């Protein structure tokens, strides 16, 4: 017989062996069972049966969710319970952690899928001590090559001893049916299945952070960890860069620029001059960046929240800024010890690359009386955020500070076109003094809000700023003078432009005294809720409210949005109304939070969705005053300390649920605390309306699925 005859036979045999091996190789999920609560359970309590399973890499298991026709599509998961008089089912079982996938090749409908891990839960009402609970699981496991049914997989729950007298089981055959059919039982009103409940939301629910054993991992969306970009890095860099340029215009620095550059280009070859000047510039950048790195290690991300919100550092920063302002006004000079300056200056005289490095140190030390307050301002602003912010801030400052030295070494002819030193340099210092006072007020307002002191309400804050910048305008006009000022009877074009800009800013702020939003200053002013006198007060919608929110007499959400301020209360309302939950992790001292609220939330599209489509909860992570009732206090999973304040509870929720500590952070979840979209901060949206609208619309769409 020819070998060619055997080829079809061999191919058929190979295909059969391959398919058989593949089917036989489908790994079954590994199941574990447990109760949501074992200690202190009494008859009549409603608890949850928890079925968890691990799935081999590359495979997925279908959940009970599907919008396919009843007898079409992939095989949905089912749990069938053996009849028992020890418990009765409450509602339907539901999956946690699955995600909806569109099946387009065959069925053209969506189904829920578990990857890597899965979890089902079923509520039961305990009637007496439980000897065992037997369950049969049926479902389907698949990968790219095919599927295999999971048939009659037995599961068993251990015995559970409870207290209290036994309760007779209701005489209903539904008690023994598959839990895919809803069984309504006689329970308290809190565990009744309300109208409009999604099946996965019925009955009582214990938030994850309160469950026995706590949260095991950060919440995920479709297998991806919730992401949030480091907020405001580019904004901080630009602010620091502009601060560096400003420092160049101070009397301590500007006159030294031509002198320093001349030192490099005098009596040396062109190549040596370029080498030394660039060494000087790079050394200057390195010095300030190292300073930022030291601050980053000293005040890392863990200390940022304390620095941002506690009254001690903020009062200290306020005093420091007032001292800086007094220095700029000419009351005194902030200088370093002369022995340190002289010692470094001697090393700079050596010349060469070593001399260039020490000259950079000399410039940094000699100019400290002018640059110190500016550097301090940048660092104070930088530590209110992530650990890398001081490094980024000092790099931006030093890059601008060193830029003229490198450029003038390349083009020494530019020295002749530089403006001459004069009284205008002292004017720069005085202007900076007014700016420092304005910043001092900003830092004082943070503890005023977090501790509810009520000293700096919005109109008081605005009134002080209006007076400060009016005085600045008067100074620029020459109507006010300080001791070190040079009399200048004429007003130049640059000074006149500055006067117009300052008084225009004052006029812009005046309507804010009567309730104008002043969006350009969003984040730098206290929130609108602190203002007593407002011509226009938005009517608060009641669409997202189930009952009067706790803490609503002390906390507020802008634009008349009816919201909650306690996570548990908001989650219960979301489940009751069958709506997704919009979580706003915010803070009294959060600049970007106020910017998002004024520039994005105020948009009619956004407001309509927040008021009508979501339950909104604003979680202030930095509130220091509001204490939790004793029955709501709990032990932190991270620190093992008892959480006693609302602010600490909200900060704990943000870190253990989403792994983030910065605000704002926006999260959309369903009634089972599962993410409907990846969580994002303000930097992702860049204060633009359309990305935020898309974020809300996609979250709403995923919730419906």
User: Which SS3 state, helix, strand or coil, does residue 628 take?
Assistant: coil
Mean of per-residue pLDDT scores for the chain: 75
Q: What is the mean pLDDT of residues 451-458?
A: 82
pLDDT at 1 over 60: no
pLDDT band at 229 (very low <50, low <70, confident <90, very high): very low
The CATH number for 674's domain is: 3.40.30.10
Question: Looking at residue 237, what is its pLDDT?
Answer: 79
pLDDT at 328: 77
Which carries the bigger pLDDT value, residue 350 or residue 130? 130
pLDDT recorded at residue 634: 84
Question: 């320093």: which residue's tokens?
Answer: 260
State residue 302's pLDDT score: 47
**Per-residue pLDDT at 118 exceeds 80:** yes
Q: Residue 375 pLDDT > 70, yes or no? A: no
In-domain check, residue 515: no
* Alpha-carbon span 526 to 354, nearest angstrom: 50
pLDDT of residue 2: 44
Q: Is the pLDDT of residue 35 over 50?
A: yes
Does 152 share its domain with 280? no
Chain segment 473-510, per-residue pLDDT in tens = 999 888 888 877 777 767 888 888 989 999 999 999 99
pLDDT at 6 over 50: no
Interstrand relation of 615-620 and 581-586 (parallel, antiparallel or unpaired): parallel
Please identify, among 401, 421, 441, the residue that sits at the C-terminal boundary of a domain: 421
Quick check: is 11 in a domain?
A: no
Q: Residue 682's pLDDT is what?
A: 65
Local structure of 89: helix, strand or coil: strand
Are 194 and 277 within one domain? no
Residue 565's domain comprises 540-704
**Per-residue pLDDT, 214:** 65
What is the average pLDDT across 618-641? 84
For residues 349-375, average pLDDT: 60
What span, in angstroms and rounded, lies between the C-alpha atoms of 272 and 517?
Answer: 57
Question: Which of 365, 388, 421 is the last residue in one of the domains?
Answer: 421
Query: Which of the residue ranges 289-298, 578-587, 650-659 would you say has the lowest mean pLDDT?
Result: 289-298
**Does 550 fall in a domain?**
yes
When pLDDT is averaged across residues 629-652 and rounded to a whole number, the result is 85
| Per-residue pLDDT reduced to its tens digit, 415-430 | 566 665 556 667 877 8
User: Are 565 and 611 members of one domain?
Assistant: yes
End position of a domain, from candidates 365, 391, 421: 421
pLDDT of 439? 79
Task: Give the pLDDT score at 243.
Answer: 76
pLDDT bucket at 307, cuts 50 / 70 / 90: low
pLDDT tens digits for 642-685? Answer: 889 998 899 888 888 887 777 788 999 998 888 898 888 766 66
**Whole-number Cα distances in Å, 254 to 284, 373, 409, 420:** 16, 16, 16, 9
User: Do 190 and 243 have their domain in common?
Assistant: no
Same domain, 46 and 135: yes
63, HSE (Cβ side, Cα atoms, 13 Å)? 29
Greater pLDDT, 67 or 198 = 67
Mean pLDDT, to the nearest integer, of 330-340?
A: 62
Half-sphere exposure of 99 (CA within 13 A, CB side): 17
Report for 265-269, 341-345, 410-414, 676-680: range of highest mean pLDDT: 676-680
Tokens of 473: 């305008």
- Examine residue 596 and state whether it is found in any structural domain, yes or no: yes
Highest-confidence segment of 48-62, 258-272, 392-406, 679-693: 48-62
* Helix (H), strand (E) at residue 123: strand 117-126
Assign 8 a pLDDT band (cuts: 50, 70, 90): very low
Dihedral sign of CA atoms 570, 599, 229, 445 in order: negative
What pLDDT score was predicted for residue 451? Answer: 77
| Structural contact between residues 405 and 280, judged by C-beta atoms closer than 8 angstroms | yes
CATH of the domain at 132: 2.60.40.10
pLDDT higher than 80, residue 545: no
How do residues 93-105 score in pLDDT, each as one tens digit? Answer: 888 878 788 765 5
> Under DSSP, is residue 392 helix (H, G, I), strand (E, B) or coil?
helix
- What per-residue confidence (pLDDT) applies to 156? 93
In a shared domain, residues 158 and 257: no
Phi, psi of 246 (to 5 degrees): -65, -40
In Å, what is the CA distance from 303 to each residue of 19, 307, 308, 660?
59, 6, 9, 14
Residue 49: pLDDT band with limits 50, 70, 90: very high
Region 193-211: what's the mean pLDDT?
Answer: 53
Same domain for 187 and 240? Answer: no
So what's the pLDDT on residue 507?
Answer: 94
Predicted structure pTM score: 0.51
> Looking at the predicted structure, is the pLDDT value of residue 37 above 70?
yes
What pLDDT score does 388 carry? Answer: 66
Question: Same domain for 61 and 159?
Answer: yes
Q: Domain check: are 130 and 263 in the same one?
A: no
- Of 4-8, 208-212, 581-585, give the lowest mean pLDDT range: 4-8
- pLDDT value at position 660? 77
Evaluate whether residue 385 is within a structural domain: yes
CA 350 → CA 11, 273, 353, 355, distances in Å?
A: 86, 15, 9, 5
237 and 188 housed in the same domain: no
Q: Is position 533 within any domain?
A: no
Q: What is the pLDDT of residues 343-357, one digit of tens each?
A: 555 554 555 566 666
Per the domain annotation, does 206 fall within a domain? no
The reply to whether 41 and 154 lie within a common domain is yes
288-305 burial code (b ≥16 CB/10 A, e <16)? bbebbbebbeebeeeebb
Residue 57 confidence class, pLDDT cut points 50, 70, 90: confident
Report residue 219's pLDDT band, with 50, 70 and 90 as the boundaries.
confident
Give the pLDDT mean for 449-474. Answer: 88
**Cβ(633)–Cβ(644) below 8 Å:** yes
Same domain? 240 vs 163? no
Domain total in the chain: 3
> Residue 157 pLDDT > 90, yes or no?
yes
Whether 155 is in a domain gets the answer yes
């Amino acid at each position: 017989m020819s070998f060619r005859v055997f080829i079809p036979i061999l191919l058929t045999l190979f295909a059969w062996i391959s398919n058989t091996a593949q089917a036989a190789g489908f790994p079954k999920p590994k199941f574990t069972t447990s109760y949501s609560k074992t200690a202190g359970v009494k008859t009549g309590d409603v608890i949850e049966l928890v079925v968890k399973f691990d799935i081999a890499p590359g495979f997925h298991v279908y959940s009970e969710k599907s919008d396919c026709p009843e007898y079409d599509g992939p095989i949905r998961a089912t749990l069938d319970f053996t009849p028992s008089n020890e418990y009765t089912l409450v509602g339907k079982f539901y999956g946690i952690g699955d995600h909806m996938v569109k099946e387009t090749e065959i069925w053209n409908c969506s189904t829920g899928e578990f990857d890597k891990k899965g979890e089902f839960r079923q509520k039961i009402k305990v009637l007496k001590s439980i000897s065992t609970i037997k369950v049969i699981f049926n479902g389907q496991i698949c990968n790219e090559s095919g599927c295999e049914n999971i048939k009659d997989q037995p599961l068993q729950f251990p015995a559970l001893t409870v207290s209290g007298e036994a309760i007779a089981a209701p005489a209903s055959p539904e008690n023994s049916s598959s839990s895919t059919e809803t069984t309504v039982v006689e329970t308290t009103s809190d565990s009744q299945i309300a109208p409009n409940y999604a099946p996965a939301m019925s009955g009582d629910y214990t938030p994850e952070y309160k469950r026995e054993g706590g949260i095991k991992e950060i919440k995920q969306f479709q297998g991806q960890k919730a992401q949030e970009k480091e907020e405001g890095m580019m904004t901080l860099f630009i602010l620091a860069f502009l601060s560096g340029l400003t420092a160049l215009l101070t009397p301590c620095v500007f006159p030294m620029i031509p002198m320093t550059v001349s030192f490099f280009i005098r009596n040396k070859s062109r190549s040596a001059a370029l080498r030394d000047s660039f060494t000087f510039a790079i050394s200057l950048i390195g010095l300030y960046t190292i300073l930022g790195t030291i601050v980053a290690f000293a005040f890392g991300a863990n200390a940022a929240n304390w620095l941002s919100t506690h009254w001690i550092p903020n009062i200290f920063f306020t005093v420091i800024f007032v001292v800086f302002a007094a220095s700029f006004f000419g009351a005194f000079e902030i200088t370093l010890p002369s022995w340190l300056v002289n010692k470094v200056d001697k090393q700079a005289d050596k010349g060469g690359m070593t001399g260039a490095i020490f000259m950079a140190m000399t410039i940094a030390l000699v100019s400290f009386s002018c640059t110190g307050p500016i550097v301090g301002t940048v660092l104070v602003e930088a530590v209110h955020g992530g650990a890398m912010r001081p490094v980024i801030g000092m790099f931006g400052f030093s890059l601008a500070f060193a830029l003229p030295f490198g450029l003038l070494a390349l083009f020494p002819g530019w020295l002749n076109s530089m403006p001459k030193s004069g009284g205008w340099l002292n004017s720069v210092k005085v202007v900076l003094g007014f700016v420092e006072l304005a910043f001092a007020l900003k830092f004082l307002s943070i503890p005023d809000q977090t501790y509810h002191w009520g000293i700096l309400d919005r109109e008081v804050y605005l009134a002080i700023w209006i007076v400060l910048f009016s005085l600045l305008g008067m100074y620029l006009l020459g109507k006010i003078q300080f001791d070190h000022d040079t009399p200048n009877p004429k007003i130049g074009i640059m000074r006149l432009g500055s006067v117009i800009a300052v008084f225009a800013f004052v006029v812009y702020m005046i309507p804010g005294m009567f309730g104008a939003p002043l969006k350009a200053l969003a984040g730098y002013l206290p929130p609108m809720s602190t203002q007593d006198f407002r011509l226009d007060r938005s009517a608060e919608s009641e669409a997202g409210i189930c009952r009067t929110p706790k803490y609503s007499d002390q906390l507020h959400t802008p634009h008349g949005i009816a919201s909650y301020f306690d996570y548990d209360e908001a989650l219960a309302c979301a489940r009751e109304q069958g709506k997704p939950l919009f979580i706003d992790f915010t803070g009294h001292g959060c600049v970007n939070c106020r910017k998002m609220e004024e520039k994005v939330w105020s948009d009619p599209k956004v407001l309509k969705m927040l008021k009508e489509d979501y339950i909104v909860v604003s979680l202030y992570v930095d509130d220091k005053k509001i204490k939790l009732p004793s029955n709501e206090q709990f032990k932190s999973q991270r620190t093992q300390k008892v959480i006693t304040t609302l602010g600490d509870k909200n900060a704990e929720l943000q870190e253990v649920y989403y792994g983030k500590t910065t605000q704002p952070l926006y999260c959309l979840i369903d009634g089972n605390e599962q993410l409907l979209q990846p969580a994002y901060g303000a930097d992702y949206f860049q204060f633009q309306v359309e990305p935020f609208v898309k974020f809300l619309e996609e979250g709403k769409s995923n919730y419906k699925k």
